[in-house]
Structure formats: C-alpha cells, structure tokens
C-alpha cells in the first residue's frame, strides 16, 4: 500500500481577490521581471496577448470582456431603459434595446508560489496577497 507523504508544516498559497483586481498586469510584469531576469531574459514570450500565448512567463492575468445587448443576461431591456439610462433621459419608448456597459473579468494564471512574491509587492489595489501563517 502506498503511504502518504508527511504533513507539511507550511503550505504555499497566494490569494488573488478577483473582485478587487483591475487587470493592470503589474503582477505579470513583476513576476516576469523577478523570475526571468527582465523583458530580454532567456525565456521570451511569443504572442502573449494572442489566442494561443506561448512561452514560460506569458501574461499571468487574462482579461475577458463580458457584454450584452437586449434582454440577455448582461443586457438592459426596454422595460428598464427609463431608470437605467446612462444620460438620465427618458427613452423608454425607443424600439431598440440599450446596450449594457461592457464588464471585464480578470482571471489569474498559474502561480510559481514564490516565498516573497513580487506580484504582491506591486499590486496597486492589494488584490494579491499572502498571509504570514501560510
């Protein structure tokens, strides 16, 4: 029978609060700078913002725009147009739906679990942090 490894006293963990993250990519730049020796280091990226990023330190936070129109999940329908119009005008009689403001969702990529991560230091909103007990 296979035995389990001994229980570790410390486990590595990094928390990124997605409600606070603004997608500025400061964490990705700091991670790349710290772990790769800078933009001209030995592990370059190939098409980091494209559909298929390639490289070891490619962008660690990817942004996806979520938008809707009409009565969809993210849209504003005709029945709500009067109360939610951005210019506060009364346009509820318009035959066209009012498009919703685009919302952006940021997803972090894999973490290397540094002991003193540069991403935590540079985060302007405090979205990424490590606890002392971890």
> Domain coordinates of the chain in residue numbers?
13-36+58-64+107-134, 68-101
CB atoms within 10 A of CB 119: 26
Cβ distance 24 to 17 under 8 Å?
no
Report the residue count for the chain. Answer: 134
User: What is the topology classification, in CATH, of domain 13-36+58-64+107-134?
Assistant: Alpha-Beta Plaits (3.30.70)
In tens, the pLDDT along 85-110 reads 444 444 555 555 555 445 555 555 56
In tens, the pLDDT along 37-89 reads 655 554 555 665 666 665 555 444 455 455 544 444 444 444 444 444 444 44
**CA 19 to each of CA 22, 25, 41, 56, 105: distance values in angstroms, whole numbers, following the listed order:** 8, 15, 32, 27, 9
């Amino acid at each position: 029978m296979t035995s389990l490894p001994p229980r570790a006293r410390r486990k590595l963990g990094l928390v990124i609060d997605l409600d606070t993250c603004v997608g500025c990519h400061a964490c990705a730049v700091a991670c790349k700078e710290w772990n790769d020796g800078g933009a001209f280091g030995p592990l370059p990226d190939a098409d980091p913002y494209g559909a298929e990023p390639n490289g070891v330190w490619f962008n660690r936070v990817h942004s996806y725009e979520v938008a809707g129109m009409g009565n969809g999940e993210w849209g504003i329908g005709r029945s709500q147009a009067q109360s939610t119009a951005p210019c506060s005008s009364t346009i509820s009689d318009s035959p066209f739906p009012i498009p919703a403001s685009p919302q952006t969702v940021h997803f972090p990529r894999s973490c290397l679990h540094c002991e003193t991560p540069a991403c935590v230091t540079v985060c302007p909103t405090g979205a990424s942090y490590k606890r002392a007990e971890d």
